[in-house]
Amino acid sequence: MKAIGVVGIGLMGAAIVQRLRGAGFEVAGFDVDAAKSRRLAELGGEPVATLGEMARRCDTLFLAVFNTDQVEAVIEGGDGLLGARDAQSPRLTVICTSTCDPDRIAKLAARIAARAEYVEMPVSGTSAQVAAGDGVGLVAGDSATVEFVADILAAVCPRRQYLGAVGNGGKAKLAVNLVLGLNRGAIAEGLVFAEKMGLEPVAFLDVLRNSAAYSQVMDTKGPLMARRDFQKPVSRIDQSYKDFCLMLDYARALGQELPFAQVYADLLRGCLEEGEGKWDNSAILAAIARRRNA
């Protein structure tokens, strides 16, 4: 088997590389950031210099880039994957883990259908959870293609849910991330309130975990919030803000207000304005703590 490609060696891309290497796959990777390419080599992957080289080396690859614009550019751009493959090449299979605009992705999959297969697999879980095998893959695409790459998908996400046509994976991810983000916000606000009342945050987090209010987010993000330990991210503020802006835009097109999501996005924007965009998204607590009565 040829090497499996990974485009984008950020937090999620690095976790994908770890999972693939752990399952015995050879991995080739590309990132415009030289430091991330070095990280790929440390994880046992082979850096390649261009997307063109990636396209010639790999018939199956993961995309773990920032947004829909980058997904389209990587696949269809002038220096993208499709332009580097000749007519005799086997069909390319792209597995996209990025959180994207569902309608644009469905149109992209249709545009490239004559030359490539497109599988959505945005992942529910932090990069640390994915690296540990605890991420949940939200899979969408042609069922025969999904079955064909099932062993590769399973290497990254042992737990997966199949959602049908391309676009449905992105829709599910947006709704999941909405609930997840609001969980983070509720925990952060509760911790800020408890501390203002004189309760010690780390101790109070244990109270929360043993209460009727418990959610898994208390385990993944609660300790970072209680210790205000935000600067070694497993999922970043700027990524969360991008996702919430996408949710709000998509909901607006559907004629649906998302009032809690709007408040949460405003808090995230406050973090960006404070220069905290690269911090872990548990830093939503800092945005809440900055709020004061006039």
* Of 120, 126, 129, 132, nearest in space to 162 by CA: 120
| Cβ–Cβ under 8 Å, residues 27 and 8 | no
Predicted confidence (pLDDT) per residue in 217-276, tens digit: 999 999 999 999 999 999 999 999 999 999 999 999 999 999 999 999 999 999 999 999
* Of 277, 278, 271, 272, nearest in space to 288 by CA: 271
Of 166, 190, 222, the one marking the end of a domain is 166
- pLDDT at position 70 is 97
Shared domain for 154 and 249, answered yes or no, is no
Mean pLDDT of the chain: 96
Q: Is residue 72 part of a domain?
A: yes
The model carries a pTM of 0.94
The total domain count for the chain is 2
| Cβ–Cβ under 8 Å, residues 141 and 118 | yes
Shared domain for 70 and 52, answered yes or no, is yes
Q: Is residue 294 part of a domain?
A: no
- pLDDT at position 89 is 85
pLDDT category at 57 given cuts 50, 70, 90 is: very high
- pLDDT at position 1 is 64
Return the CATH number at 257. Answer: 1.10.1040.10
Shared domain for 22 and 141, answered yes or no, is yes
Q: How far apart are CA 184 and CA 48, in angstroms?
A: 37
Shared domain for 23 and 86, answered yes or no, is yes
Rounded to a whole number of angstroms, the distance between the first and last alpha carbons of the chain is 64
Q: What is the percent of the chain with per-residue pLDDT over 90, rounded to a whole number?
A: 96
Full domain range(s) for residue 144: 4-166
* Ramachandran region, residue 8 (left: φ > 0; alpha: ψ -120 to 50; beta: rest): left
Of 147, 166, 185, the one marking the end of a domain is 166
Would the pLDDT of 19 be above 70? yes
Q: Is residue 236 part of a domain?
A: yes
Residue identified by tokens 């959180």 is 99
Predicted confidence (pLDDT) per residue in 144-200, tens digit: 999 999 999 999 999 999 999 999 999 999 999 999 999 999 999 999 999 999 999
Of 166, 187, 221, the one marking the end of a domain is 166
Tokens of 273: 């304005």
Pairing between β-strand 27-30 and β-strand 4-7 as defined by DSSP bridges: parallel
In Å, what is the CA distance from 155 to each residue of 21, 121, 131, 247?
9, 13, 10, 29
Shared domain for 34 and 152, answered yes or no, is yes
